[in-house]
Structure 1
Amino acid sequence: MASYFVDTLGLTAVMAFLVVTRLLRTRKTASWSQIRGSVTGVRVRALGDLSETLIDVAYSFEGRAFEVHDLVTDGAELRDFPVKTPVELLVQSRQPRRM
């Protein structure tokens, strides 16, 4: 019975953490601008037995050109991002280099 209580309490704490983290991120990015960029490079980085796909993206914001490197694609595969693929980005208006 005590083990069930501890498991339930732990699961509840994890869920609360995830919800709060998501709310804070949404609040932080609410004033950011959504823009369209274009993939300029793509590669896979090995992480032990796992790997992640990283992309480079070029975009312009308020008439200035920018390029960011090594954006993590959250489980996407290499074939999902051929060069010149359009992608949506959130850019902080005061610091357009920040994603």
Structure 2
Amino acid sequence: MSGDKKQFIYVLRLIPALLNDSNWTKREEDIVDRHFSRLQKLLNEGKLILAGKTAGIDEKTFGIVILEADSYEEALELMRIDPAVAEGIMTAELYPYHVALMRR
């Protein structure tokens, strides 16, 4: 992890309507594709530490994004412009975070 950067985690949850597979349309699939592309961009920029989600889709499903950023405000903006959040298919909560151990 780099110098003075701070770490943050945001937890993503699908909106309730999307817990039912039959409610997914091309629009939601396209948003998820843009969400994934955005995460890849953050990884390439050195801002993303890790991202992933729990298996399945039900009321307990969630995803996480762990970032390095200069400030809480920067991390908050990165979360807010995530296409899944900005386009309303996922809710997100941001927390200061600290990676204590990580496999190399």
| TM-score > 0.5, shorter chain as reference | no
Which of the pair is proportionally richer in helix?
Answer: 2
TM-score (norm 1): 0.27
User: Over alpha carbons, which structure has the higher Rg?
Assistant: 1
Instruction: Give the number of the structure with larger relative contact order, counting CA–CA contacts within 8 Å between residues 6 or more apart.
Output: 2
